[in-house]
């Protein structure tokens, strides 16, 4: 059996932001905005075409266990990843990672999927880019794949997930988002961000998200705070 990643993806959604961004220290915010351009919260490349419906490097297992495991692995990073650091770092390959104490939004996802389902996005994205480099966003001016950074960029993850070939529209219904789902959104004017949906909910029934948006990995009520651009699910 083969495990699939279900991809719920829309382009840039119409209408205004779905909620006002929480205010925090302005110096921190400016640092995040500037640093996002370097690594993870990159300029959004827009809608991704599904190029290869048969492409998937993932094996099958019970979807409920998967969802819970992914959320748990993401939550385990809280208190361990305490800073946001978008610096370019040379990584070992495969299975490379920056020190756990730091990272960006994509690192939360990379670590969660490695720990929960043995899915190495560094290796999978790199191998796919070697085959179809032109299918990926040409935002950074690279001429060839770079396993140190490609998997740590949101537009590249969106492209990889879309190339798995399982796409449905994004919705604004809280019940459509399950623990362990991955959600991309646009922060500010045009910065891509990615979050793990928590298996815990607010009193109003809206799932929390687990992400690093500037001060380490946190679990927060921010699912609908920013315009959602993609929804992904690891399932049977």
Domain limits of the chain? 4-14+24-235
CB atoms within 10 A of CB 112: 26
Mean pLDDT over 183-204 rounds to 96
For 30-47, the pLDDT digits (tens) are: 444 444 445 545 666 554
The pLDDT, as a whole number, for residue 66 is 78
Q: Lowest-confidence range among 42-56, 127-141, 154-168?
A: 42-56
To the nearest 5 percent, what fractions of the chain are helix, strand and coil?
Answer: 30, 20, 55
Residue 167 has what pLDDT? 58
Reply yes or no on whether the pLDDT at 141 is more than 70. yes
pLDDT mean over 100-119 = 96
Query: How much is the pLDDT for 53?
Result: 39
**Ranges 4-8, 105-109, 180-184: which has the least confidence:** 4-8
pLDDT band at residue 184, thresholds of 50, 70 and 90?
very high
Rounded mean pLDDT of the chain? 81
Instruction: Report the pLDDT value the prediction gives residue 182, as an integer from 0 to 100.
Output: 94
Angle between helices 105-117 and 121-131 (to 10 degrees): 100
Average pLDDT over residues 134-163: 95
Strand partners, 185: 193, 228
To which H or E segment does residue 123 belong? helix 121-131
- Which residues are CB-neighbours of 169 under 8 A, at least 6 positions away? 8, 10
| Range name among 56-65, 146-155, 224-233 with the lowest pLDDT average | 56-65
First-to-last alpha carbon distance for the chain, in angstroms, is 8
Q: 232 φ, ψ to 5°?
A: -130, 145
Residue 117 reports pLDDT greater than 50: yes
Say what the pTM is. 0.79
Residue 190 has pLDDT above 50, yes or no: yes
Structure tokens at 172: 């604004």
Q: What is the pLDDT of residue 34?
A: 45
Mean pLDDT across 89-111 = 98
Paired sense of beta strands 182-187 and 191-201, if any: antiparallel
Under 8 Å between Cβ of 231 and 170: yes
Residue 169's pLDDT band, with cuts at 50, 70 and 90, is confident
């Amino acid at each position: 059996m083969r495990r699939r990643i279900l991809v719920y993806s829309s382009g840039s959604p119409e209408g205004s932001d779905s909620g006002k961004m929480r205010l925090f220290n302005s110096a921190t915010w400016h640092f995040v905005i500037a640093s996002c351009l370097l690594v993870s919260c990159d300029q959004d490349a827009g809608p991704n075409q599904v190029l290869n419906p048969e492409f998937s490097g993932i094996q099958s297992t019970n979807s409920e266990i998967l969802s819970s495991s992914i959320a748990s692995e993401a939550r385990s990073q809280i208190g361990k990843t305490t800073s946001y650091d978008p610096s370019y770092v040379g990584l070992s390959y495969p299975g490379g990672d920056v020190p756990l104490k730091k990272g960006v939004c994509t690192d939360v996802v990379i670590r969660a999927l490695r720990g929960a389902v043995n899915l190495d996005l560094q290796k999978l994205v790199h191998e796919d880019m070697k085959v179809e480099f032109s299918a990926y966003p040409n935002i950074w001016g690279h001429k060839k794949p770079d396993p140190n950074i490609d998997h740590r960029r949101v537009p590249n993850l969106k492209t990889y997930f879309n190339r798995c070939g399982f796409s449905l529209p994004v919705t604004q219904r809280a019940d459509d988002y399950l623990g362990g789902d991955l959600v991309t959104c646009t922060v500010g004017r045009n910065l891509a961000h990615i979050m793990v949906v928590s298996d815990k909910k607010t009193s109003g029934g809206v799932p929390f998200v687990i992400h690093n948006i500037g001060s380490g990995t946190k679990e927060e009520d921010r699912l609908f705070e920013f315009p959602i651009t993609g929804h992904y699910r690891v399932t049977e």
